[in-house]
Amino acid sequence: MNLAKYKNTPFMTYFFIGLSAIIFVMMTIAGGSQDTNVLIEFGAKYNPLIINGEWWRLFNPIFLHIGFEHIVLNMFTLYFIGIQIETMFGHWRFTGIYLLAGIAGNIASFTFSPDTISAGASGAIFGLFGAFLMLGDNFRESAYFRQMSQQFLLFIMLNLVFGFMSSSTDNAAHIGGILSGFLIATTVGAPNLAQISRVKQVAAFIIFIVINLVLIRIGVSNSI
């Protein structure tokens, strides 16, 4: 077994893209990814059902998409940013950042967009942008990370501006994903690049937990 090839191949990025594509085909066969009943059946974020105990709906939407353009745009973005983040952080740290940022994005949507049925990998993908911002913040001496972080920050700001102008964009999920991606990336660190202080890692994890618990509490209170 070629361990170097295993280490450098972004197989989790490929896995998430493949899984999303398979589920999209299944939704299309079931009646269409834009059909409300299909979205709910496959686990889209839908507050009334979450309040009734279906908390897995904060996880499933990461792999669901509404329409062909939605999945193409998200998977195209995931391919390019995912390869970079997975290479820098490693397979399992990348996986943790992606999934936890996706869940946190859905928690933010649960709290601030309670009346919408939502789905998509955007929160998780924005979490990867948040991870890159963490690299720029912690490794400022690197011209590469500094420049790339500035570019991603501009991209994020433009997306949020356009998101506020579009009723179909769940900006709450995007913001939740960015913030959580930054915090989780700080928590797990990037040992392939440099060490982050243990105090900063622990503090980031505590902040991540507290923020999301508070958001869940607020979301539940507003839905009762």
Question: ∠ CA 82-44-28 to the nearest 5 degrees?
Answer: 80
pLDDT confidence tier of residue 146, bands split at 50, 70 and 90:
confident
Q: Domains along the chain? A: 10-222 (1.20.1540.10)
Least confident of 1-15, 119-133, 180-194, 206-220: 1-15
Query: CA-to-CA distance for 54 and 47, rounded, in angstroms?
Result: 9
* Tens-digit pLDDT profile for residues 63-99: 999 999 999 999 999 999 999 999 989 999 999 999 9
Per the annotation, the verdict on 174 as an active-site residue is yes
Please report the pLDDT score of residue 1 as a whole number. Answer: 47
Instruction: Return all residues near 187 (Cβ < 8 A) that are at least 6 apart.
Output: 201, 202, 204, 205, 208
Which residue in the block uniquely carries the two structure tokens 């990025």? Answer: 13
Assess whether pLDDT exceeds 80 at residue 153.
Answer: no
Q: What pLDDT digit, counting tens, does each position of 195-214 carry?
A: 888 999 999 999 999 999 99
pLDDT digits (tens, 9 = 90+) for 9-25: 899 999 999 999 999 99
Cα-trace Rg, the chain: 17
Task: Indicate if the alpha-carbon torsion angle 77, 105, 201, 16 is positive or negative.
Answer: negative
Active site residue 91: no
Average pLDDT of the segment spanning 41-45: 96
Among 20, 65, 174, 180, the active-site one is 174
Q: Is 190 helix (H, G, I), strand (E, B) or coil?
A: strand
Pair 153, 99: CB distance under 8 Å:
no
Among 33, 113, 122, 180, the active-site one is 122
Is the pLDDT at 3 greater than 60? The verdict is: no
Q: Is the dihedral of CA 181, 185, 187, 188 positive or negative?
A: positive
pTM, 2 dp? 0.91
